[in-house]
Each structure stands twice: as structure tokens, then as C-alpha cells.
Structure 1
Amino acid sequence: MTRFVSALNLSGPIALAGHDIGGAIAQYLLARNRLDVSRFALVNSVLYDSWPAPHVAQFRGGGAGEGVLAARRQAITRVLAGVATESLIADYVDPWTDERVRRSWAALAGAADNRYTLDLVPALQRSTTPKLLIWGEDDLHETVEYAERFASEMPRTTLIRIRNADHIPMENAPDHIGRALADFFTA
């Protein structure tokens, strides 16, 4: 799966965005005042106690072999759904063919603990930074209910729901998401 943390305008206050685990890192940076963040966006991010998702937790005891590669391929194929082509699936799965990547991911799965994201909630509730959530409504693990809860509990938060999109909505509606992020970050 794709994960990202992006920061724009590094010479002053920055616009910060994150997806998946990258979203958890972005939340940490905002909540702990590690950066001067002017605008904050999350796309199908880890929130609250959504981490580790069941498809990650199953590898907590190790086991970074071919089982991880097969599980990643299956997950990518599912989340890309209507836009999945063999080429696109291969683009997402290719890094996982490296044993080092699989071992690194298994170590991450082994250390997964939702207390880290839950500990950020009070600081995020105090944050007045404008926030945008963009969410694929069909995500089975980072469900839209997490985004709805976040939008209702965190000040200055707007939620944009992407219909017929799963965990990587950037593949389902790239123009819509790109426009929403650009409008939000330049407002």
C-alpha cells in the first residue's frame, strides 16, 4: 500500500499531508508541534485504535516470507478494485519482492500498537490548525467511521468522502483528490 507524508513550503509554516501510516506520522508531527503546520490533511489514515488492522496484525509474530508477499498482492488487488490492472498491481507489489522490505514490514507489524495514535488525541483536539480528511468510503480497515469521528471531535476539520473508493482513493479519483488538496492548501 502506498504511505506518504508530504510537507510543502519548508521555509516557513508548512502544509502537511499523510496517508495510511504516513498519516499517523503526520498526526504525531502536528500534535507534538514538531513542525509549524499551517494546514493538515489526511487520506485514509491510521486514526485512533485502527492500527494495527487485522491484515497487519496477523504477521505480528514474524514470518516475513512469501506469505507476506501473497497477502500484500491480495490486499492491493482488493483495495484497487475497479482500477486494478496487472501493471498497477505490479507497481504496488514490486517493492515487496525484496526480502528486506518484507522483514522491515514484519518488524513494523510486530511493534504495532494503537496506544501511540490514541495518545495523540488530546493534543489533536486542542489543535486549531485547519484539517482536511479525504476518505475512500469502501475502506475495510481505516473505515469512514473513523474519519467521521475525527471530523466531529477535532476542531476545524472537513471530511470529503470518496464514493466507490477503498484505501487508496488517489487511484480511484486522482483529479478530485488533487483538486481538493490543492484548494485546501492554497486557501
Structure 2
Amino acid sequence: MTRFVAALNLSGPIGVAGHDIGGAIAQHLLAHDRLDVSRLALVNSVLYDSWPAPHVAHFRNSDTADGVLAARRQAVTRALAGSATEPLIAEYVHPWTTRRVRHSWTALAGAADNRYTLDLVPALQRSTTPKLLIWGEDDPHETVEYAHRFASEIPHATLIRIPNAEHIPTENAPDRIGSALAHFFTA
């Protein structure tokens, strides 16, 4: 899966966007005043106690290269859903063919603990920074219920649901997501 954190306008207040674990990092940047974050966008992000997702346990137990690659292939295929073509799956899985990437992921999976995101909640509830959540409605890991909870409990948060999209909605509705992000960051 893609995990990204993107920062926009590095010369002043910064708009930050993140997906999956990158979204958790983006929340940390805002909650701990690591940057002057002017806007925060989260796309199917880790929220509350959604991390580690249940499938992460598979990575904890995949101690061989073949085991990690098989688990990544299965996770990517499921996350891409209707967009899952063989070339796209191969593109997503390719980085995992290197030992360094596999080792990094298994170390991350082994240290997974939801306290890191749960501890952010009080600071996020105090934040007046505008927040946009863009969510694939069919994500089995970072479910849309987490996004609804966030939008109802965290001030200045707006949720855009993407129908017929799973964990990587940028593959299912890239134009809609790109337009929503561009509008949010330029408003």
C-alpha cells in the first residue's frame, strides 16, 4: 500500500496530507506542533485504535522473504479491489522484493501499538486547524466508521466518502480525490 505524507508550501504554514501510517505521522506533526500545520488531510488514515490493523499480525509471523511477499501481494490485491491489475499489483509489491524494505515492515509490524494514535486525540480535539478526511467506504482495515467518529469528535473536520473504494481510494477515484485535495489546500 502507499503510505504518504506530503507537505505543501514549505515557506510558511504548511498543508499536510497523509495516507495510512503516513496519516498517523501527519496527525503527530499537527498534535505535537512539529510544523506550522495550516491544514490537515487524511486519506484512509490510521485513526484512534485502528492500528495495528488485524492483517498486520500476518506480517509479524511472516519471517521469510516469500512469506512477506505473499502477504504483501494478498494485502495489495485486496486493497486495490476493482483496480487490481497484474501490472499495478506488481508495481505496489516491487519495493518489498528488497531485504531492507521487508525488514523495515516487519520491524514496524512488531512494534505496532495503538497508544501512539490514541495519545493524539486530546491535542486533535483542541486543534482549530481545518481537517479533511477522504475515505474509501469499503476499506476493511481503516473502516469508514473510524472516519465518522473522527469527524464527529474532532473539531473542524469534514468527511468525504468515496463509494466503491477500499484502502487505496486514489486508485479508484483519483480525479475526485485530487480535486477535493486541491480545493481544500487552496481554499
TM-score normalised to structure 2 length: 0.97
What letter is aligned with 2:167? Answer: H
Alignment-derived partner of residue 115 in structure 2: 115
- Secondary structure of the residue that 1:113 maps to in structure 2? coil
SS where residue 60 of structure 2 aligns? coil
1:59 correspondence with 2:52: no
In structure 2, the partner of 1:183 is 183
Q: Could you say which residue in structure 1 is the equivalent of 2:138?
A: 138
RMSD: 1.0
**Paired residues for 1:9-158 under 5 Å:** 9-60=9-60, 63-158=63-158
Distance 1:87 1:65 in 2: 21
C-alpha displacement at 1:110, in angstroms? 0.5
Shift of 1:60: 2.9
Secondary structure at the aligned position of 2:59 is classed as coil
Structure 1 residue ranges (4+ consecutive) displaced by more than 2 angstroms after TM superposition:
57-62
Are the aligned partners of 2:59 and 2:71 in contact in 1 as well (CA < 8 Å)? no
The Cα offsets for residues 37-69 of structure 1, whole Å up to 9 and x where unpaired, read as 111100000000010111112333561521111
Q: Give, in whole Å, the separation in 2 of the partners of 1:113 and 1:68.
A: 20
Range with bigger deviation, 56-65 or 3-12: 56-65
Please give the alpha-carbon distance, in whole angstroms, between the structure 1 residues aligned to 2:184 and 2:156.
12
What secondary structure sits across from 2:79 in the alignment?
A: helix
Identical pairs, percent: 81
CA contact (8 A) 1:31 1:123 kept: yes
Structure 1: gaps spanning 5 or more residues: none
Distance 2:69 2:55 in 1: 12
Shift in Å at residue 75 of structure 1? 0.9
Instruction: Give aligned pairs, total.
Output: 187
* TM superposition shift of 1:83: 1.2
**TM-score, reference length from structure 1:** 0.97
User: Residues of 1 paired with 2:177 and 2:39: CA distance?
Assistant: 16
Distance (whole Å) between structure 2 residues aligned to residue 39 and residue 4 of structure 1: 16
Partner of 2:168: 168
In 2, distance between residues paired with 1:62 and 1:76?
16
